[in-house]
Structure 1
Amino acid sequence: EINVTVNGDGKYPEFLNKVLLKAATQGYVACHYVFKNLVKYYQKLKEEQ
C-alpha cells in the first residue's frame, strides 16, 4: 500500500490529496484515474498563469 499526501504549501492540496488517495489502491483503473486528474490539476495551474 502506498499512502501519499501533500502538505498545504501548494495550490489545491485537498484536490491533490483526493487524487493521490486513489494511488493507495492497485490496478490500472486507479492508476488511470490518478494520471487523468493530475493532468487536470496542472492544466488548471497553467491556465491561472
Structure 2
Amino acid sequence: MIEGRTGKEIGKALGISPRTVDIYRTRLLRKYNVKSTVELVKQLL
C-alpha cells in the first residue's frame, strides 16, 4: 500500500486474490477508524 500498488498487484506478489487484499484493507480502515488508505498509511508510519 505504501508504494501505491493496486490490490491486484499486492495479491499477485503475496499469492492471494485481489479480493482478499481489499477485505484486509477494509478491516484495517475500520480498526484504525480512518476513511482512506492514505490516512491509514500515515497513522501506521
* TM-score normalized with structure 1 length: 0.40
By relative contact order (CA 8 Å, sep 6+), the higher-ranking structure is 1
* TM-score normalized with structure 2 length: 0.43
Query: Which has the larger Rg?
Result: 1
